[in-house]
Amino acid sequence: MQQRSNYFYITTFLFTCLLQCCTSTDTITQNQSFKDGDLLVSSNKSFAFGFFSPGASLNRYVGIWYNRVSEQTVVWVANRNNPINGSHGVLSIETPGNLVLRDQSNKNKLIWSTNVSISGSSAANSSFIQLMDTGNLVLFGGEGNRGIISWQSFDYPTNTLLPHMKQGVNRTSGLLWSLTSWKSKDDPGTGDFQFKMVLNGSPQFFLYKNSERLWRSGPWNGIQLSGVPDMTTRFIFSVDYVENNNEVSLSYAIHNPSIFSRMVLNESGTMDRLTWQEGQKSWVQFWTVPKDQCDYYSHCGAFGDCNPYKLGEFECECLPGYEPKVKSEWYLRDGINGCTRKPGEPLCGNSTRNDVGFIKLTSVKVPDTTNAVVNRVLGLKECADFCSKNCSCTAYTSANVSNGGSGCVTWHGELIDTRQFSNQGQDVYIKVTASELAEYVKNVKGSRHKKWIIILVASIALIVVLIFVIFIVLRKRKGRRHYIQELLSFNLSPPSVSSYGGSSLKRKQMDENRDLTIYDLKTISCATDSFALANKLGEGGFGSVYKGRLSNGCEIAVKRLSKSSGQGIEEFKNEVTLIARLQHKNLVKLLGCCIQEGEKMLVYEYLPNKGLDNYIFDKEKGELLDWRKRFEISLGIARGIVYLHRDSRLKIIHRDLKSSNVLLDANMQPKISDFGMARIFGADQMEAKTLRVVGTYGYMSPEYAMQGLFSEKSDVFSYGVLLMEIISGKRNSSYFNDDAVNLIGYVWELWKEGKALNIVDSAILGESYNPDEAGRCILIGLLCVQEHAMDRPTMSEVLSMLSNETSVSSISPKEPAFVIKKSSYQSDKTHTYSSSASLGASVDDVTITVVRAR
Ligand SMILES: *[C@@H]1O[C@H](CO)[C@@H](O)[C@H](O)[C@H]1NC(C)=O
Ligand SMILES: *[C@@H]1O[C@H](CO)[C@@H](O)[C@H](O)[C@H]1NC(C)=O
Ligand SMILES: *[C@@H]1O[C@H](CO)[C@@H](O)[C@H](O)[C@H]1NC(C)=O
Ligand SMILES: *[C@@H]1O[C@H](CO)[C@@H](O)[C@H](O)[C@H]1NC(C)=O
Ligand SMILES: *[C@@H]1O[C@H](CO)[C@@H](O)[C@H](O)[C@H]1NC(C)=O
Ligand SMILES: *[C@@H]1O[C@H](CO)[C@@H](O)[C@H](O)[C@H]1NC(C)=O
Ligand SMILES: *[C@@H]1O[C@H](CO)[C@@H](O)[C@H](O)[C@H]1NC(C)=O
Ligand SMILES: *[C@@H]1O[C@H](CO)[C@@H](O)[C@H](O)[C@H]1NC(C)=O
Ligand SMILES: *[C@@H]1O[C@H](CO)[C@@H](O)[C@H](O)[C@H]1NC(C)=O
Ligand SMILES: *[C@@H]1O[C@H](CO)[C@@H](O)[C@H](O)[C@H]1NC(C)=O
Same fold, 20-156 and 477-605: no
Q: Does the CB atom of residue 373 touch ligand 10 within 6 A?
A: yes
DSSP for residue 302 = B
Mean pLDDT of the chain: 80
Q: How many CB atoms lie within 10 A of CB 290?
A: 17
Q: Whose atoms come closest to the Cα of 28: which ligand?
A: 1
Distances (CA, A) of 754 to 495, 779, 798, 800: 61, 11, 22, 24
**Phi and psi angles of residue 389, each rounded to the nearest 5 degrees, phi first:** -85, -25
What are the pLDDT digits (tens) for 597-644? Answer: 777 787 888 888 888 888 888 888 888 888 989 999 999 999 999 888
CATH superfamily for domain 477-605: Phosphorylase Kinase; domain 1 (3.30.200.20)
Closest CA to 91 of 134, 49, 59, 54: 49
pLDDT at 211: 94
Cis omega (within 30 of 0) for bond into 290: yes
**What is the distance in A from the centroid of ligand 6 to the CA of 154?**
27
pTM: predicted TM-score of the whole model, two decimal places: 0.59
Residues in Cβ contact with 405 at an 8 Å cutoff, skipping those fewer than 6 apart: 379, 380, 398
CB-CB contact of 341 with 322 (8 Å): yes
Question: If 0-12 CB within 10 Å is exposed, 13-18 middle and 19+ buried, where does residue 599 land?
Answer: middle
**Nearest Cα residue to atom 14 of ligand 3:** 115
Whether residue 828 is predicted with pLDDT greater than 60 in this model: the reply is no
Q: Using an 8 Å Cβ cutoff, are 789 and 799 in contact?
A: no
- Residue 644 DSSP symbol: I
Nearest-CA residue for ligand 3 atom 1 is 115
Q: Which of 36-40, 642-646, 768-772 has maximum average pLDDT? A: 36-40
Please tell me if the CB atom of residue 149 comes closer than 6 angstroms to any atom of ligand 5. no
Question: How many residues are listed for the chain in this entry?
Answer: 854
Say yes or no to pLDDT of 169 above 70: yes
Residue 157 CA to residue 136 CA, distance in Å, equals: 10
Choose one of 172, 197, 245, 247 to mutate for the ligand 5 pocket test, by most ligand atoms within 8 angstroms of C-beta.
172
Assign 847 a pLDDT band (cuts: 50, 70, 90): very low
Considering 417, 656, 674, 715, which one is annotated as catalytic? 656
Distance CA 643, CA 282 (A): 48
CB 197, CB 176: distance < 8 Å: yes
Q: What is the pLDDT of residues 694-723, one digit of tens each?
A: 567 778 888 877 777 778 888 999 999 999
**What is the distance in A from the centroid of ligand 6 to the CA of 116?**
36
Domain residue ranges of the chain, discontinuous segments joined by +: 20-156, 295-446, 477-605, 613-839
The residue with greater pLDDT, 811 or 39, is 39
Q: What are the C-alpha distances in Å from 634 to residues 251, 536, 589, 689? A: 71, 28, 19, 28
Integer CA distances (angstroms), 68 to 12, 76, 593, in order: 10, 16, 38
* pLDDT-based confidence at residue 841 (cuts at 50, 70, 90): very low
CA distance 198 to 370: 8
Q: Tens digit of pLDDT for each residue in 453-483?
A: 778 888 888 888 888 888 777 665 543 333 3
Is the minimum distance from the CB of 222 to ligand 6 under 6 angstroms? yes
SS3 for 30?
coil
pLDDT of residue 481: 35
> What is the CA(340)–ligand 1 centre distance, in A?
73
Residue 188 CA to ligand 8 center (angstroms) comes to 13
Q: What are the tens digits of pLDDT across the range 274-324?
A: 989 888 899 988 889 998 899 999 999 999 999 998 877 899 999 999 999
Is any atom of ligand 9 closer than 6 Å to the C-beta of 352?
yes
Averaged over 209-238, what is the pLDDT?
86
Q: Which fold has domain 20-156?
A: Agglutinin, subunit A (2.90.10)
With a 6 Å cutoff on the Cβ, whether 115 touches ligand 3 is: yes
Q: Which residues are annotated as a binding site for ATP?
A: 559
Confidence check: pLDDT of 3 > 80:
no
In eight-state DSSP terms, residue 336 is T
Give whole-number Cα distances, 763 to 23, 119, 389, 543, 769, in Å.
Answer: 89, 97, 86, 34, 10
Give the number of the atom of ligand 7 that is nearest the alpha carbon of residue 45: 1
Ligand 8 center–CA 183 separation, angstroms: 12
Minimum-distance ligand 4 atom for the alpha carbon of 123: 14
The total of other beta-carbon atoms located within 10 Å of residue 72's CB is 18
Which residues are bridge partners to 264 per DSSP?
160, 272
Q: Which amino acid, one-letter code, is at 421?
A: F
Residue located nearest, by CA, to atom 2 of ligand 2:
85
Q: Ligand 2, from 85, 104, 106: best to mutate by most atoms within 8 Å of Cβ? A: 85
From the CA of 111, the nearest ligand is: 3
Ligand nearest to the CA of 260: 7
pLDDT for 279 equals 85
From 350, 351, 356, 389, mutation site for ligand 9 pocket: most ligand atoms within 8 A of C-beta: 350
Ligand 9 atom at minimal distance to the Cα of residue 351: 1
For residue 426, what is the enclosing H or E element? Answer: strand 426-433
Residue 353 has what pLDDT? 64
- Evaluate: CB of 328 within 6 angstroms of ligand 9: no
Angle ∠(373,378,383) on CA atoms, nearest 5: 65
For the segment 539-555, the average pLDDT, to the nearest whole number, is 78
For residue 170, how far is its CA from the centre of ligand 7 (angstroms)?
A: 26
3-state secondary structure of 190: strand
Asked whether residue 356 carries a pLDDT value surpassing 80, the answer given is: yes
Collapsing DSSP to helix, strand or coil, 484 comes out as helix
Is 173 near ligand 5, meaning CB less than 6 Å away?
yes
Average pLDDT over residues 10-29: 56
CB 91 within 8 A of CB 28: yes
**For atom 7 of ligand 9, which residue has the closest CA?**
352
With contact defined as beta carbons under 8 Å apart, do 297 and 216 qualify? yes
Q: Give the span between the Cα atoms of 233 and 235, in whole angstroms.
A: 6
What's the rounded Cα separation, in Å, for the pair 704 and 843? 11
656 is catalytic: yes
688 forms beta bridges with: 710
Among residues 425, 315, 412, the alpha carbon closest in space to that of 365 is found at 425
Which ligand is the nearest neighbour of the Cα of 220?
6
Ligand 1, CB within 6 Å, residue ranges:
29-31, 125
The answer to whether residues 91 and 61 touch, using CB atoms and an 8 Å cutoff, is no
Per-residue pLDDT at 491: 32
> Does the pLDDT at position 493 exceed 90?
no
The tally of CA atoms less than 13 A away on the side-chain side of residue 772 is 6
Class of domain 613-839: mainly alpha
Cα 246 to middle of ligand 3, angstroms: 24
